[in-house]
Every structure is written in C-alpha cells, then in structure tokens.
Structure 1
C-alpha cells in the first residue's frame, strides 16, 4: 500500500506513470483515507487531494464513493491473493503444509494494524451503511474463501471432501483461522506473547483431523 506523505500533492496533477499505475495510486490513497477516517468522513474531495487528482477524475472512473471503496478493497484482496498463490512450492506441499503456509500468510495480512483499523471501521459503519457492508463482504472475504475452496478441491484426495463441501469447508477454515485473534486485536486484548504460527498449526490440525481425530504421521 502506498505510504502517506506530509506534502499535499497538487489537485489535478496525477502521479507520473501508466493509466493503470495512476489508478492504483488513487485506490491505495483512497483505502488509506477509509482506514484512517472511516467511510462517512473520507470524502471524495479528501481522497482527490491525497491522490493528487481532481474530483472530476475520480467521478469519471467511479460513479460514487461506495464504488471507489469497493475498488480499493478489490485491489487489496487481489494483491493478497497473488501473494498467497505465489508461496514457494505451494502446489507441491501436502494439504496440511499448504494450509499452514496459506494460513500464516493470510493471518499476517489480517492482523496488520491498518487492517484491524479497517475492520473496526467496517463494524462501526455497518449500521449506517448496511448495503456497503454486504458489498465489501462479497468483494473481499468471498474471494479469499473461493481461493481456499479451490485449493481444497485440488487436494480432494487428502481431504475426502465432496464437491458440495469445498465452499462451506473453506468458510469454516477461515472463521477458525481469523475470528478469535482478529476480535481480540479489535478490542485490544490480544496477548503480547500470542504465537501466530502455533495458532495456525492448531487450526489446521483441528480442521483436517478433528480434536480427537488422527494426527499426521
């Protein structure tokens, strides 16, 4: 994500680069503002100043603030998915080791302070903008879930899941992986000695083998 700067760029003077690079810069700056100020307070005018473009430029690309926010979330998710898919030797790992690698990468992203702030903002804004909350859920978590489901599908022989079970199994895995540590971080009660690796390994153990199930050899 692009770093914030103390000097305000000139409105109407986008950063040099290709059209795609300039739009990526806009989406990065928009996400920074949404995380820092919340959806309601992060106006198109403020985002335009931060990105160094005019409000007209933004409205030429996105019809409203909700669409801009969804695009910024989509860019973030696309980057995260690309990084997870780029894990070295992922396709050659066992399902257990692959899920541990994916879990560590994803949990590291989710637990970053800016992402906790973003989640906190989403919770706070959910009552005022329920339609936005639903759209974000379908844009971000849904795509991560689909990626995990596809990974489980490729390892169907190891999981013994049926075709109809890949999606709900992926949803369950993500809930087990993320919910507790994220909620603790949200309320500022995550233990200082919390071991992310141990958490991921335990989640994968329970997910694949159950509490009293068989353990890998």
Structure 2
C-alpha cells in the first residue's frame, strides 16, 4: 500500500487576499447598493449598518475606507455620474450631413440614456437630496451635463456658423435642446408615468422638430 501523502499536501490552504480586480468589484457593489438605498429611503434614514448588511460587508471596512455616510454618498453619486455620462465620441459618430437627422440621432441616444435605470436613479436622487445638499445638484449638472452641452454648442457653431457666432448663445441653445428633447420624456417618467417605446420615439421626433423650427426661424 502506498504511503499517505504528507500533511503539507493534504491540508486546505486558507484563502488569500482578494485581487485588486476583486476588491474593485466589491467596492463598486458597495457604492451601487448604497445609492439604491439612499434613493429608496432618503439620505437621513439610510444608515451605514443597513448598507453593510445589504452588501455583506463589515462596518469597519466601510468606515476605514470612507469615514462617514456623507463621503460614501458623494462617492457613490460621483461614480454614478461617471458611469452614466454618454461619451462624446459616441455623439460625434451619430452626426451626418443632414442636420435634422443628426439632432434626431443624438436625441435618441440622450433620451435612452436618461430613461435608463441608472439615468432615472441619478435624476431622482439628485432632485431629492439637492434640498439638503444644494451643491450636489450643481455638481451633477456640471459633471453630467456640462460636456454634452459643450459638444452640442460646438456642433451648432460648426453647422450653423451664421446663426451661432456667439459661443455663450450656442451654449444656452444647447442646454435648451437637452431640456426639450431629453428632459421632456425624463420628467414625465420621473412623475411615475410609463411611456412605451413608440411614445418615446414620437416625442423625440416632435421635440427635435420643434427645436429645429425655433433655431432656424
């Protein structure tokens, strides 16, 4: 009979430290869960204990990493903005020689983005908590909308140089485009009204035409 293997071969190894990728995924899960709870219960009623229980993480780990609940909230909000924002290159790729078709294609991207789970969560939680923390609304607008407004203003100046020689006016009109085309459906859904894909498409087309008519006349 063969001799038994030495104990060093049969002993179970203790699990090692998580890899950087695993730690990052775990932290992202924490931030995502925290933001969901902040939305469901509000900032004041959400506790670190509830967040750690939901994600299965020790409280001391969260306190060591973020210090307090407000820092955790702001970090989760910043990550949500970073994950949600549409890359400008994607908007540029939607441009074509037809200006109206470009506005419609870009509008579809922006509407789909704001109506996504992530977009509506960000909109709702920012609106709810801006009363207590006014600066987060400004921050979300500047970080989440600012690059898109800058891109649209540049496009208006490129496509309609005789109409938009003033960059400030171009930026104002870009913001109006966002409010009309993307903000319209988003506000309706935020109020709890469901829209079908057909209704969203019809509103997007109508709002783009209204915007274009106002710009060109």
Check if 1:157 corresponds to 2:173. Answer: no
List aligned pairs for 1:56-75, cutoff 5 A: 56-75=60-79
1:164-183 equivalence runs, <5 A: 164-183=168-187
Report the Cα distance in structure 2 between the residues aligned to 1:100 and 1:204, rounded to whole angstroms. 6
For the pair shown, the structure with the greater C-alpha radius of gyration is: 2
Match of 1:111 in 2: 115
Partner of 1:31: 35
Q: CA deviation at 1:206?
A: 2.7
Q: Is the alpha carbon distance of 1:172 and 1:49 closer, same or farther for their aligned partners in structure 2, counting shifts above 3 Å?
A: same
Give me the whole-angstrom Cα distance separating, in 1, the residues matched to 2:184 and 2:54. Answer: 34
Does 2:213 align with 1:209? Answer: yes
For structure 2, list consecutive stretches of 5 or more residues without a partner in the other structure. Answer: 1-16
Q: Distance in 2 between matches of 1:172 and 1:82?
A: 18
1:136 paired residue number: 136
Q: Which residue of 2 aligns with 1:185?
A: 189
Structure 2 contact 81–122 (Cα < 8 Å) conserved: no
Listed one character per residue, the Cα deviations across residues 47-91 of structure 1 (whole Å, up to 9, x for unaligned) are: 122233222322333243233222222222222224564468336
Structure 1, unaligned runs of 5 or more: 1-12
- Secondary structure of the corresponding residue to residue 195 of structure 1: helix
- How far apart are the structure 1 equivalents of 2:78 and 2:70? 12
Q: How big is each residue's C-alpha offset from its partner over 1:159-196, in whole Å with a ceiling of 9 and x where there is no partner?
A: 43322234322322222124433333233345658621
CA contact (8 A) 1:29 1:51 kept: yes
Instruction: Give the 3 Å change call, closer, same or farther, for CA 66–153 of structure 1 in structure 2.
Output: same
Question: Is the 8 Å Cα contact of residues 32 and 76 (structure 2) preserved in structure 1?
Answer: yes
* Secondary structure, counterpart of 2:43 in structure 1: helix
Q: How much is the aligned-residue C-alpha RMSD, in angstroms?
A: 3.4
In the alignment of these two chains, the number of paired residues is: 197
Q: Is the 8 A contact 1:81 1:144 kept in 2?
A: yes
Residue of structure 2 in register with 1:50 after alignment: 54
CA distance in structure 2 between the partners assigned to 1:202 and 1:121 by the alignment: 28
Contact 1:120 1:186 in 2 (8 A): yes
Q: Give distance in 2, aligned partners of 1:144 and 1:114.
A: 12
**Partner residue in 1 for 2:6:** none
**What is the CA–CA distance in structure 2 between the aligned matches of 1:209 and 1:66, rounded to whole Å?**
45
Report the TM-score when normalising by structure 1. 0.70
Which of these residues, 13, 21, 24, is aligned with residue 20 of structure 1? 24
TM-score, normalised with respect to structure 2: 0.70
1:33–1:47: 8 Å Cα contact kept in structure 2?
yes
Indicate if the aligned counterparts of 1:36 and 1:117 stay in contact, CA closer than 8 A: no
The 4+ residue runs of structure 1 with deviation greater than 6 A are 13-16
